[in-house]
Amino acid sequence: MTSIHEKYNLKQVINTSGRMTILGVSTPSQSVIDAVNVGLNHYFEIKQLVNNSGAYIANLLNVEAAVVVSCASAGIAQAVAAVIVKDNANLLLNLHSAPVNEPREIVLPRGHNVNFGAPVDTMIALGGGKVVEAGYANECSAAQLAAAITPQTAAILYVKSHHCVQKSMLSVAQAAEVARQHQLPLIVDAAAEEDLQCYYQSGADLVIYSGAKAIEGPTSGLVIGKKQYIEWVKQQSNGIGRAMKVGKEGILGLTQAIENYLTQPKISGAQMVERMDPFIEALNKLAGISARTVWDSAGRDIARAEITFNEALLGISTSEIVERLKNGEIAIYFRGYKANEGKIEVDVRSVDQQQLMTVFHCIKNLFAE
């Protein structure tokens, strides 16, 4: 509990669910907080700050160019606006106030038109784009993507995310090949992805990341890509970008977070196991509850605690347990994807051992009642 929690009557939250926007995404490290602080305490020539921080990030990532934006959603909207407006000064100022004669269709696989917390197609519309879906809900090949391209196409959008349909989908490299054949740019939304280079290397012209998710920066977004396209994204600060302005503190905080992300060792799966061992051991002593270590289904070096509830013995459904732990005095959030199978998962990256034991006591108390 902090004085802020008391002042505004806010619940203490323990987040074992991962990078969730509804919980504030992540808690940046001290060096990122220090960079934010420097940003808040000084004036800068903002154009220089944008350009030089972008060049610094581009150099770190070995890409042509980069720019910090306010969040990944803003990155999608501004990337779409950039490929429609390009250098057209009049259109920059009138994107939504006049009929657009320039190509403005954004082609994306139908299985990528997802809701990540807000719809992808809303962000495309914000950027002045018109959504054109290619392929089927569960299938999109390179040929199906190409078949949706017309003279009105402005770009291809590829959404790389666990939210999307995965099977029978073309790869980023295949989408890049289609884009190249039709002389169109490829935009990749990789908001929550961990690899900051591979999509660019696969041939994308613009790649968008969320600043607070894997990178653990302040609320912000990152757009990397080819120089000309990044210049057009930057120009949007005089157009729709103004409604999604990133502050100097966000620019400096994210730049520091990217540097940390690339240079500092990440917590390993083995360290996660070590952190959660006492927690799992304690849970296994409770009647009707069993816990074990499980490894990330996508093959990443992430270990999580899987807790299985014997619903018949405990006389309560797992979704009800999840609900009660959310609504307790301390709000505890789990990964609840498998609640219908009587299982929940604990992601230990955002919690320390002490918080894990608090989670244990809250679970224990739930059944002591």
Least distance between ligand PLP and beta carbon 349 (Å): 17
Number of Cα atoms under 13 Å in the Cβ half of residue 193: 20
Number of Cα atoms under 13 Å in the Cβ half of residue 236: 33
Q: Is 192 in the site for ligand PLP (CB under 6 A)?
A: yes
The footprint of ligand PLP on residues 220-239 (CB under 6 A) is 221
From the CB of residue 145, how many other CB atoms can be counted at a distance below 10 Å?
24
Q: Which of 172/276 has CB closer to ligand PLP?
A: 172
Burial of residue 157 (CB within 10 Å: 0-12, 13-18, 19+) is buried
Q: Which of 54/291 has CB closer to ligand PLP?
A: 54
Among 163, 324, 326, 364, interactor with ligand PLP by CB under 6 A: 163
Tokens of 298: 């996508």
Q: Which of 148/208 has CB closer to ligand PLP?
A: 208
Among 14, 71, 126, 233, interactor with ligand PLP by CB under 6 A: 71
Question: Largest alpha-carbon pair distance within the chain?
Answer: 69
Q: Is 214 in the site for ligand PLP (CB under 6 A)?
A: no
Least distance between ligand PLP and beta carbon 298 (Å): 14
Determine the straight-line distance between the first and last CA of the chain, rounded to whole angstroms.
25
Give the total of residues touching ligand PLP (CB under 6 A): 13
Q: Which of 98/243 has CB closer to ligand PLP?
A: 243
Q: Which of 207/363 has CB closer to ligand PLP?
A: 207
Q: Is 78 in the site for ligand PLP (CB under 6 A)?
A: no
Distance (Å, whole) CA 324 – CA 339: 13
Query: Among 26-34, 67-75, 81-89, 234-242, which window interacts with ligand PLP (CB under 6 A)?
Result: 67-75
Q: Is 189 in the site for ligand PLP (CB under 6 A)?
A: yes
Least distance between ligand PLP and beta carbon 105 (Å): 20
Among 16, 26, 73, 235, interactor with ligand PLP by CB under 6 A: 73
Q: What is the three-class DSSP state of 285?
A: coil
CA angle 203, 204, 210 (to 5 degrees): 140
Number of Cα atoms under 13 Å in the Cβ half of residue 32: 23
Q: Is 191 in the site for ligand PLP (CB under 6 A)?
A: yes
Q: Which of 146/164 has CB closer to ligand PLP?
A: 164
| b (16+ CB within 10 A) / e for 192-223 | bbeebebbbebbbbbbbbbbbbbbbbbbbbbb
Query: Among 187-195, 224-232, 307-315, 347-355, which window interacts with ligand PLP (CB under 6 A)?
Result: 187-195
The footprint of ligand PLP on residues 289-308 (CB under 6 A) is none
Q: Is 216 in the site for ligand PLP (CB under 6 A)?
A: no
The footprint of ligand PLP on residues 101-160 (CB under 6 A) is 116, 159
| Those residues with Cβ within 8 angstroms of residue 270's Cβ, 6 or more apart along the chain or in another chain | 303
The DSSP-derived string for 72-93 is HHHHHHHHHHHHHHTT-HHHHH
Q: Is 21 in the site for ligand PLP (CB under 6 A)?
A: yes
Q: Is 182 in the site for ligand PLP (CB under 6 A)?
A: no
Least distance between ligand PLP and beta carbon 166 (Å): 13
Distance (Å, whole) CA 369 – CA 32: 43
Q: Strand runs (DSSP E) across the chain, as ranges?
A: 13-15, 65-69, 105-109, 130-134, 153-159, 186-189, 206-210, 221-225, 289-295, 303-309, 331-333, 343-347
Among 210, 255, 318, 350, interactor with ligand PLP by CB under 6 A: 210
Among 51, 88, 94, 161, interactor with ligand PLP by CB under 6 A: 161
Distance (Å, whole) CA 77 – CA 123: 5
Q: Is 66 in the site for ligand PLP (CB under 6 A)?
A: no
Give the binding site for ligand PLP (CB under 6 A): 21, 71-73, 116, 159, 161, 163, 189, 191-192, 210, 221
